[in-house]
Amino acid sequence: MSVATASPRPVRYRSLFPAWEGPRPVSWYFIEQLLEARATSDFPTNAAGEDEDVNVYLADRLAAWATGDGRGGIMPGRDPLLRLADPAAPASLTAWTAARQADHRLLGLGLFDRGDLVRRRVCGWRMTMAETRRRDREVAVRGYQFAADRLAGRAGDRPGTVAVWRKLARNLDGYVHVLQTLARRRLGLGARLEDADLAWLLRDPGTGAD
């Protein structure tokens, strides 16, 4: 007896203001917020060459992070790419795995100021926070470079994705800054609430009392 399982429905969001089009895919929310963040950051779209494709890629990664397991498949440690250097391993598999490690570091550094959300320590062993950030940045840059080099020119090559990975490796600091702008000015990550706001959130919704 076989059991058919329904595929998961795409996650959608509804705007705070009435919208005639109804709920939209959550990726629409992130692309809107990302474009606003880029316009107000020191690294606006196309500042270092055409990179609208990077915006689409980042919005997709942000949506996947928000609706899935942001830590799944992440390799902690000083240099996870050493585990992907086996020349006998399928090129496409190692490329996407390396990009997954890089995506994690990029989003972690941009949104949370911490590149590796899997390791237990905030800082690396016998390292300062600045040294740890630099190491996570290097893992991201080399991850994108490795992924692009591994996939380019091979069967199953996706030139558009390879081009995005190369742009992310080349201008990683700029994209980290964009995500920091997104986190602080658009998403409110890291914001502190006033005592009155906390009291309002903790009130009893049935009675209106705290």
Tell me what pLDDT residue 41 has. 93
* Cα Rg of the chain (Å, integer): 20
Tell me what pLDDT residue 13 has. 55
**How many domains, the chain?**
1
Q: pLDDT tens digit string along 118-173?
A: 877 777 777 788 888 999 999 999 999 999 999 987 766 788 999 999 999 999 99
174, part of any domain: yes
47, part of any domain: yes
Q: pLDDT tens digit string along 99-127?
A: 999 999 999 999 999 888 887 777 777 77
Range of 59's domain? Answer: 24-186
Q: Is the pTM of this model over 0.95?
A: no
Q: What is the DSSP letter of 83?
A: G
CA distance 111 to 189: 7
> 203 pLDDT exceeds 60?
yes
65, part of any domain: yes
Q: pLDDT tens digit string along 40-78?
A: 999 999 999 999 999 999 999 999 998 887 778 888 766
Q: Interhelix angle for 52-67 vs 91-112, to 10°?
A: 80
Those residues whose C-beta lies under 8 Å from the C-beta of residue 158, and which sit 6 or more positions away, are 151
135, part of any domain: yes
